[in-house]
Amino acid sequence: MFTGIVTDVGRVAAVKDQGGSRRFEIETAYDTKTLELGASVSHAGCCLTVVDTEPGRFAVEVSNETLSKTNLGDWKVGDPVNLERALKVGDELGGHVVSGHVDATGEVVSVSQDGDSWRLVIQAPAPLHRFIAPKGSITIDGVSLTVNEVDGRNFGVNLIPHTWKVTSLNRLQAGSRVNLEIDLMARYAARWRETAEGQDRA
């Protein structure tokens, strides 16, 4: 589990296709001596397993299924990657509970400055948009954010200067693909409502 609070922006150092998967080597400021093989790390919101380490970098392997369901298939050498290590018992929950399981990719509609902050409008695919609500939480490329408003499949979020500076979201532009994970509570609430409505009709 994660919180959606980015603790390092790594960099894709190498990409290698290997049959049914792709290997990425990620440069990081983390002390890789503390990254055990098999450890879980969130990469742009996608939970991946560390398979190798060396000073200043580590490697992960990504299945074709994950590449097809996320924006990781777009990664190339030099790209920045939002990183977060797995939550430990007793850690501060600064964002919201994030599983690291990407639900779908969305498309950036617009990026605009709003005073000192930045405003993003993103289009979510159907039917995922049904789980996004104003003032609810959403994870965008691994960053926990609050939804400002929803208009059909589009929703808006604001990034404070700190978030804009310390994450890879400052590279987004109209047309960019982003990984989306909806709030777990929203998922369960929607499921409960669907079940209740089904029972009412029965």
Collapse the DSSP code of 3 into the 3-class scheme (helix H, G, I; strand E, B; otherwise coil) and give the result.
Answer: coil
Q: What is the 3-state secondary structure (H, E, C) of 24-37?
A: EEEECCCCHHHCCC
Tokens representing 34? 């503390």
Domains of the chain: 8-85 (2.40.30.20), 104-194 (2.40.30.20)
Sites in the chain below the pLDDT cut of 70: 89-95, 186-202
pLDDT of res. 197 = 62
pTM: 0.90
**Cα 23 to Cα 15: distance, rounded to the nearest angstrom:** 6
Tokens representing 128? 């995922």
pLDDT digits (tens, 9 = 90+) for 114-124: 999 999 999 99
**Cα 150 to Cα 130: distance, rounded to the nearest angstrom:** 10
Tokens representing 38? 């098999």
